[in-house]
Structure 1
């Protein structure tokens, strides 16, 4: 017959075996704050981590803060040719498989240097899907409000309109 101490230890061991591993796994798996339209949830998590690896947050917002993953998902759902979208989706799946094979974890759970290393390999290999992803991430970032106004210097052209300015204030006319 078990005493209270043995019962408590047995229950604790059972609790640890049954409850903690799924909870620990859930903590390590990133969740999205948006619902993908063209991508599966797993592909969207890979894209989210990939975009932040390509354009990380520094003294300027990163790709995640700029909404780049949502932009890429929207572009794949509404703008991209079906073949291009399918290639990028397959590429996101491939990145996750390669991360699992090389490091035993999904891409989004790898360390920053491991993610960078994996993406550098794709960059060196010249894979078409990766070139397309980098282009979409870059366009998405630099056309976002944080990308255009914080990362870049924003100069509205042609600028303020001031009609009937005396020529003496301007000096001479403009030609472009």
Structure 2
């Protein structure tokens, strides 16, 4: 199974956690015309910003690495360039720039310089803007969805954030569940 097929399968399984826009892109755009691939480019700084953005959504905990450890700073731009049509690539790149402008206006700092509390405040504002305007797709919704998708298809997401069973055995509908146990991930 190639990575795109795996992402498609995970997106289908995680349907309730990921917006219909992202699922639509994942299902519809596995074969983008070459002229639409890599329509936008992302700098190393952009990847660092996306890494920190994703880490705000899925932070490192005592039991598992977060989004940054899972490599989402590089994953998100790769999926945007390789899987999203040109118009959505442009929308995402413009949204990333708008987020940085908003950060500069509200905090007089660039995104990488603001505190964790300021990032949470900015994240709430972006979420409220995306939900309040019913603007779908939006930078925030796409970035959030790709963070969830990328994290839970990464090695860290499958082996540390979830209970990992490398070789599933037979189906056992009465398998014991211990309160507080992680959800299962199999390979």
> Which TM class, normalised by the smaller chain length?
0.5 to 0.7
User: Match of 1:132?
Assistant: 142
Distance in 1 (CA, whole Å) between partners of 2:47 and 2:72 is 11
Which runs of no fewer than 5 residues in structure 2 stay unpaired?
1-39, 171-187
CA–CA separation in structure 2 for the residues paired with 1:55 and 1:158: 27
Measured in 2, the distance between the counterparts of 1:68 and 1:147 equals: 11
Give the 5 Å matches for 1:10-159: 38-59=41-62, 60-126=64-130, 127=135, 128-156=138-166, 158-159=168-169
Cα root mean square deviation, aligned: 1.8
Report the structure, 1 or 2, having the larger helix content. Answer: 1
Residue range with higher mean Cα deviation, 43-52 or 141-150: 43-52
CA distance in 2, matches of 1:159, 1:39: 43
Q: 2: distance between equivalents of 1:51 and 1:107?
A: 13
Moved over 4 A (4+): none
Q: Which runs of 5+ in 1 are unaligned?
A: 1-36, 161-176
Counterparts of 2:154 and 2:69 in 1: how far apart (Å)?
10
TM, length-normalised to structure 1? 0.65
User: Larger deviation: 41-50 or 117-126?
Assistant: 41-50
Considering only CA atoms, is the larger Rg found in Structure 1 or Structure 2?
A: 1
